[in-house]
Amino acid sequence: MNTTGQRTVLVTGSTSGIGEAIAVAFARDGATVVVNGRDEERTAAAAERVHAAAGGTRPIPVAADVATAEGAQRIFAAVPDVDVLVNNTGIFEATPVFEIDDDEWRRYFEVNVLSGIRLARHYTPRMVERGWGRVIFISSESSVFIPTEMVHYGMTKTAQISVARGMAQEVAGTGVTVNTVLPGSTLTPGVRDFIADRIGPDVPFDEAERRFVAEERPTSLLGRLIRPEEVAAMVHYVGSDAASATTGAALKVDGGIAPTIIP
């Protein structure tokens, strides 16, 4: 696989979990990685962890809330151009669908979908001008296998696939690709808390993980949660020269949870 050395990679929501693992994967490949989160201290600390894990060029921490236009402008001012954009920022929470009010539907769309649209709208045309670029939306198996307890989350993940496909069509033949990656339930701090809430805080985590997968994700072919590094490996590939023929695609790294053939 060709490396991403000398390229700049922006990973939103990269202060922990999948985002941080993705940042490490690209940093190990020699890229200059922009680490992003909302809090300055957390963002700076994550950048230091990425550097400690990967070495090479020191990551650039940019604290900004990409769910807002003001936050996006802060990123554009700090990093006007990137070669690889990974739209990873996202939120999730279990809520009965008929209890989700208008404001919450809007919040989920703004954080999970509009944040990525806003960044892609700025960076993608610049990639086209240079003749190379990668735009990657981190979706979810929930996009095609809607979780009853998180319909609002599933809606946003489906929307990401549609947006990415349309953008890929718009930049066809330019050397720029746009794709979505669909992780399954992944062992991140947020998912750990989610499982503790669903299974019980006093249950040892190994047992809670087993029960959660068996009871709430029984279609998993792995029989366990995915690890952030496993998702990062797929994203790193999609963001590389080797993935030049992969565009407009929805790529599962879900351990077989979604019982569908395509995507």
List pLDDT tens digits, range 87-118. 999 999 999 999 999 999 999 999 999 999 99
Q: Are residues 22 and 13 in contact, defined by beta-carbon separation less than 8 angstroms? A: no
List pLDDT tens digits, range 7-51. 999 999 999 999 999 999 999 999 999 999 999 999 999 999 999
Report pTM: 0.96
pLDDT of 260 higher than 80: yes
Q: Are residues 237 and 253 in contact, defined by beta-carbon separation less than 8 angstroms? A: no
Q: What pLDDT is recorded for position 3?
A: 54
Token reading at 221:
């072919």
Residues that are catalytic:
153
Q: What pLDDT is recorded for position 166?
A: 98
Instruction: Determine the straight-line distance between the first and last CA of the chain, rounded to whole angstroms.
Output: 24
Give the helix, strand, coil percentages of the chain, each rounded to 5. Answer: 50, 15, 35
Q: Are residues 35 and 60 in contact, defined by beta-carbon separation less than 8 angstroms? A: yes
Q: How far apart are CA 180 and CA 144, in angstroms?
A: 12
Q: How far apart are CA 108 and CA 40, in angstroms?
A: 23
Q: What pLDDT is recorded for position 2?
A: 41
> Please, which pLDDT band fits residue 52 given cuts at 50, 70 and 90?
very high
Q: What pLDDT is recorded for position 261?
A: 86
Query: What residue ranges define each of the domains in the chain, with the CATH number in brackets?
Result: 8-184+227-253 (3.40.50.720), 187-225 (no CATH)
256: left (phi over 0), alpha (psi -120 to 50) or beta: left
pLDDT of 1 higher than 80: no
Q: What pLDDT is recorded for position 5?
A: 63
Task: List phi, psi (to 5°) of 208.
Answer: -65, -40
4 vs 254: which has the higher pLDDT: 254
